[in-house]
Structure 1
């Protein structure tokens, strides 16, 4: 029961992260935000796994760094989409499709054929995407394309991360990868030119929320929860993230979400639910 509570808290904190990130990128360039946010978050988590760093081999460090770079790329695309989107809830539901895309990536990279549950859930998710994204005819917005690309990259990160996580504890893996995201993000930002911007108290407040609450504490809660909850239950709980984001977007950010998009999000949620529930029954 405690593990489930940790995971529910993690999904709520992740949703808060969507709102906090949107607030920050209204003032601070997204690439600078991602670099500093994840670098500081890795420093917050480091004390919890400091002794384990000495056990890492060169091969493990290289593998974690490579996977971390994929995550960094995904997050840079994501934060750009967040900075230009008018609907965080829409972005959260599109990003949740990474779970459906992952089996395709695994099939392409490692020849792991998807199970029957995937083929049942896939057309449902496609229908949800159509309802969610094609509100103004057959024209995709730049933010929607950004979220789709980020979901694709994030699914690649899921697949690659799963192959290396067996030899490294989850918390240590997360800490190293967040550090790589932070370092690479800062390097990327240093090569970009940015218009003058002012770091206000408002921006600092939301930056700290996104860094400490929505990144460090969120990943710590998620890791603690995953240790004591089976994979199926954990996956079902984790798909609550876009639901919380939708509630946050409407209630706090006062976003107006068209009924068609709400239905599309619900259909995507259904596809994820079907995929997770049937994965253990159909082989």
Structure 2
């Protein structure tokens, strides 16, 4: 299938969108963001370890280093996102944490000399506009929360950009295993250091921890690793941004939030931007290696 990587990433975005609902319910029931972070990655690590147990002994030293590095970036993403939410509004937090469509091409250009095509540049700018229409309801102001939220976007963008380079030499699943395990250890240390009372586990809480851990964390990052093997980091960033669309739609359907006309327009613009990334603007006609192609 020509676009199987894109479909894997789109499926990851759809699954990840549902994760916002599970996290919201867990927050409403008294769990801290750090408890949720540890719980979901613990579940993900255990499930992936059980499912891919034959791959664990095959993890090479290089894959261990790569997965650990990506895990640190991923942990930083969640920490900065959480801290940013404490100092700014959810809409500003959501917008700035979803600007990776612009940040990733810049990182790839500066760090790896991969100049983005005009189609990618235009698609990235349109994506930011779409996310703004979908997320920002209050005035976008520069405060500590905004800086931390944008820092989360940079950390996640670095994770995508470096994963694209590391997948050329490492196995997708084994990187995901190490990456999830690394975040689990880091989040455990944070919970251990910060302490706090953990609410009793109810059936609903267990169900949401399982969904957030198995699907929105374990399967999500395996799909990202597998999908990014067949497409570029720039395209990955654009497709993953559609997670905000699925989150908005599922939130309206399952959590009772209303999606405004402006939000629907934002959704259309984001989807249009992803399709635009396939446009032949600025592309060379000579054949290229899919692992290095910049869409």
TM-score clears 0.5: yes
Match of 2:283? Answer: 282
CA 1:69–1:174 in 2, change beyond 3 Å: closer, same or farther? same
- Structure 1 residues 126-145: aligned runs within 5 Å: 126-128=128-130, 130-132=132-134, 135-139=137-141
Structure 2: give runs of 5+ residues left out of the alignment.
285-295
CA distance in 1, matches of 2:267, 2:163: 27
Shift of 1:13: 2.1
Shift of 1:171: 0.9
Q: Deviations over 1:52-78 (max 9, x none)?
A: 333333343223211210111112233
Match of residue 250, structure 2, among 248, 259, 277: 248
Match of 2:291? Answer: none
Task: Give the match's secondary structure for 1:166.
Answer: coil
Match of 2:46? Answer: 43
- Structure 1 residues 1-283: aligned runs within 5 Å: 9-26=11-28, 27-80=30-83, 91=94, 95-128=97-130, 130-132=132-134, 135-139=137-141, 147-194=149-196, 196-201=197-202, 202-220=204-222, 231=231, 240-274=242-276, 276-278=277-279, 282-283=283-284
Shift of 1:36: 2.8
Alignment check: 8 A CA contact 2:102 2:124 kept: yes
CA 1:24–1:50 in 2, change beyond 3 Å: closer, same or farther? same
Shift of 1:117: 2.2
Size of the alignment, in residue pairs? Answer: 276
CA 1:6–1:62 in 2, change beyond 3 Å: closer, same or farther? closer
CA distance in 2, matches of 1:162, 1:102: 11
Name which of structure 1's ranges 17-26 and 177-186 shifts more when overlaid on structure 2: 17-26
More helix by share: 1
Task: Give the match's secondary structure for 2:168.
Answer: helix
CA 1:277–1:141 in 2, change beyond 3 Å: closer, same or farther? farther
Shift of 1:219: 4.1
Q: Deviations over 1:18-65 (max 9, x none)?
A: 111121233211112212321221121123433333333334322321
Q: Deviations over 1:83-128 (max 9, x none)?
A: 886569x83x654432332111122333333222233234434434
Alignment check: 8 A CA contact 1:116 1:279 kept: no
CA 1:42–1:85 in 2, change beyond 3 Å: closer, same or farther? farther
CA 1:273–1:148 in 2, change beyond 3 Å: closer, same or farther? farther
Task: Give the match's secondary structure for 1:252.
Answer: helix
